[in-house]
Amino acid sequence: MFKHPRESAELISIIAEHVSIDPDSIKKFARKIFESNVINEFDLRRWRSDNPLHPQTITEHTADWIFLIDSLNFSFWPDSGHEFTIGGEIGYWALCFAIKRALTQNIPITDPKFYCKITLEQVKNLFRTDNQREIPMINERFSILRENGKILVENFQGSFVNCIRQSQSNAITLLKLIYDNFPSFRDEFCYRSVQVTFLKRAQILIADIWACYEGHGLGFFNDIDQLTMFADYRIPQILHYFDILKYSPELTDSLWANNLLNYGDQYEIEIRGQSINAIEKIRLELRRLFERESIGKFSVPNSIQIDFYLWSLRRSISDLIDLKSPYHKVRSIYY
């Protein structure tokens, strides 16, 4: 049953034992974002301009590129501590490079009619690396490509564009459509007899559509602000770095020991749920700052924009962050 991620996060805030949120750090960081906002940190055009591996020529079919990318947008951290690289890129950008490389070789990888029948050998070739280190979860990526391609062909006339149109420009309706039709996007589990739903990849899929089309056409959603941040393993890391998230000694020791968590573990649930709550608190504090200082020229950033900002900021100071704040490790198709 569909449940809004914000509702799940609010429940976790009540029962959390190992992860808390520091109110003073929320205010301090909101001020930092407020000052960054006036230099256009949140301009949606940056989705393309700052990211050359994102499509630079936008058409209707770009939505199928985004759907493909976010179908596979999970679990990039290395097993051994040695990163795999594709075209010199790591993580998400390695994925983008692999797709770009395939398209330049006239492989129709963004066409669901192609990848619904793709073979495992083709997938391994698609994601061949520079250093012979295999991208994590290659078999799961293969299965997801086949499954999602088949669903698009059978239910949406072979394009995610038709799924977007069914939503009638409503982000929550689209979130429910993705949840109902694509099992690999159902980021949910039962915790203490209660359903918990985060939907990281489903939400970032909608957010990427919104940002790519700059809030117009296929990217216009009349309720885009209803989406939360995308609860993964990198945003919690930077929230901890800025002392917004506080971890118990037990959790801290476990993370520094590089212990692998299971999807749905207490530690993992609290980290992800409290990250959503922290971003919501930052958003509300930003609204207060904008109202108090009467900045009418700029709109208050939503949770998506705050997430984008944090993700970019983490990349720019990743060495500093890794020294102070470990990230939690879970092998999962959901993030």
d(CA 256, CA 312): 24
d(CA 332, CA 178): 18
Taking all residues of the chain, what is their mean pLDDT, rounded to a whole number?
A: 95
Whether pLDDT at 39 is above 60 = no
d(CA 189, CA 200): 13
Whether pLDDT at 35 is above 90 = no
What tokens were used for 321?
């962050």
Positive or negative: CA dihedral 54, 55, 58, 59 = negative
Q: At 261, which helix (H) or strand (E)?
A: strand 260-261
Longest dimension (CA), the chain: 58
Q: Which pLDDT value is given to residue 176?
A: 98
pLDDT above 70 coverage of the chain, percent: 97
Q: Which pLDDT value is given to residue 42?
A: 81
Q: Which pLDDT value is given to residue 327?
A: 95
Rounded (5°) CA angle 3-237-137: 70
Q: Are 63 and 166 in contact (CB under 8 A)?
A: no
Q: Are 170 and 223 in contact (CB under 8 A)?
A: yes
First to last CA, the chain: 20
When computed from its CA atoms, the radius of gyration of the chain, rounded to whole angstroms, is 19
The single residue listed with the structure tokens 């504090």 is 285
Q: Which pLDDT value is given to residue 80?
A: 75
d(CA 251, CA 54): 36
Positive or negative: CA dihedral 227, 228, 229, 230 = negative
Q: Are 16 and 290 in contact (CB under 8 A)?
A: no
**Which amino acids are annotated catalytic?**
232
User: Which residues are within 8 A (CB) of 310 and not within 5 positions of it... i.e. 6 or more apart?
Assistant: 235, 238, 239
Q: What is the rounded average pLDDT of the residues 5-17? A: 97
Rounded to two decimals, the pTM is: 0.95
Q: Which pLDDT band, with edges at 50, 70 and 90, does 295 fall under?
A: low
Task: Summarize pLDDT for 171-192 with one digit per residue, the tens.
Answer: 999 999 999 999 999 999 999 9
Provide φ and ψ at 157, rounded to 5°: 55, 30
Strands 260-261 and 329-330: parallel
| Domain ranges for the chain | 1-48+191-204+227-335
